[in-house]
Amino acid sequence: MSTKVPFFEYPRLWSDDREEFLSIIDNVSSSGGFILQKAVSDFELELANYAGSNYAVGVGNATDGMEIFLDAIGVKPGDEIIISSHTMLATASAIKVAGGTPVPVDIGIDNLISPQGIEEAITSNTVGIMPTQLNGRVCNMDAISTIAKKHDLFVVEDAAQALGARYKGQHAGTFGLASCISFYPAKVLGCLGDAGGVLVNDKDLYHKIYQIHDHGRDIDGEVKRWGRNSRLDNLQAAILSHKLKTYNKVIERRREVAQMYQDRLGDLSELQLPPSPSNTSNHFDVYQNYEITADKRDDLKVYLSEKNIGTLIQWGGKGVHQFHQLGFNQKLPKTDKFFERCIMLPMNIFISNEDVDYICEVVKSFYMK
């Protein structure tokens, strides 16, 4: 049985696929097509097709993607956009950089943005809602869309963690005007550096996003507006195309691991686990993370570490509203409580069934001490 399970083995991203990557790097590099060439347009098409979106634009990273689509939508100073407090600070910072005001709200029982929290936070300055499809699970988009329609708000998605996740059969990233996907190395579809994608259905908005990501130039190269540079580069695009081919298998493996955790830890009353994949519901989850809440969380983390099991507390253990130094002062008790108890167990394709067995045995032994 395994006695060492790192939280995520970054070197294996390279070593497990080294020969293939070397050949991809050689092909792209010897063609001389480094920027905005075929590998990028091919991947954009594949990504859009995979997610069921009309268009995709490759960008430097998901945070840039959010800034760019908010800029394209026309967010202006004073505009408030409601987000979950349980998200990466990037969701908030993208709104800030685009000129708007991020308004974090509490989480619901599913640990995703609370529809009730959204309703309560709406003011005359609210222009949109940006739910985060967290941990590879899509929020209750029926409830969010109903609120958005009722108050005439746009919806955009932080789908950085959720490529392939579905709600009532519809893919994460296709529910609102636009969304971002992150290809950060540890993401379910991760590349060998920073990269991101924007998904968008509307043709005009697509062109605006395209222009902003490439110095204001449209696909024909003509400058149409002010822009910036946040392009996905061809080497990363070619690597992502290669990985997208087996992406569904990766998702299946993650779902298998989630089911194993459920089967082995589901009876422990000290833990709350994410919904299991076998739980037939409106959701198809891709388990970007396996985030649980646990009694005696801090002691559990130390105990697991002593047994050579890596864990992580998401966002360094803070919700967005807890960054008081950035001016947030909301009172969000459910999120506060969550961050006292949350911890992520290893969840990736590098861990074996034996690793999961070992992790679960150690967790159980902690509570039987």
Residues in 118-157 at the binding interface with ligand PLP, rule: CB under 6 A: 132
- Total residues contacting ligand PLP by CB under 6 A comes to 14
Q: If binding is defined by CB under 6 A, does position 62 make contact with ligand PLP?
A: yes
Q: Identify the burial level of 204 via C-beta atoms within 10 angstroms of its C-beta, where 0-12 means exposed, 13-18 middle and 19 or more buried.
A: exposed
Instruction: Please answer whether residues 74 and 82 qualify as being in contact, where contact means their C-beta atoms are separated by less than 8 angstroms.
Output: no
Closer residue to ligand PLP, CB minimum distance, 302 or 326: 326
H/E run at residue 179: strand 178-182
* CA pair distance 148, 151, nearest whole angstrom: 5
Q: Does 88 bind ligand PLP (CB under 6 A)?
A: yes
Helix or strand or coil: residue 113? strand
User: Which one of 82-90, 112-120, 212-220, 250-258 is the stretch in contact with ligand PLP (CB under 6 A)?
Assistant: 82-90
Q: Decide whether 88 or 356 has the Cβ nearer to ligand PLP.
A: 88
The two beta strands, 55-59 and 196-200, are antiparallel
91 binds ligand PLP (CB under 6 A): yes
d(CA 114, CA 189): 27
**Beta carbons within 10 angstroms of residue 256's beta carbon:** 14
Shortest Cβ 141–ligand PLP spacing (Å): 16
CB of 111 to ligand PLP, least distance (A): 13
- Choosing from 182, 230, 293, 335, the residue that interacts with ligand PLP (CB under 6 A) is 182
**Closest CB to ligand PLP among 118 and 160?**
160
61 near ligand PLP, judged by CB under 6 A? yes
Q: Are strands 157-158 and 178-182 parallel, antiparallel or unpaired?
A: parallel
Residues that bind ligand PLP (CB under 6 A): 61-63, 87-88, 90-91, 132, 158, 160-161, 182, 184, 196
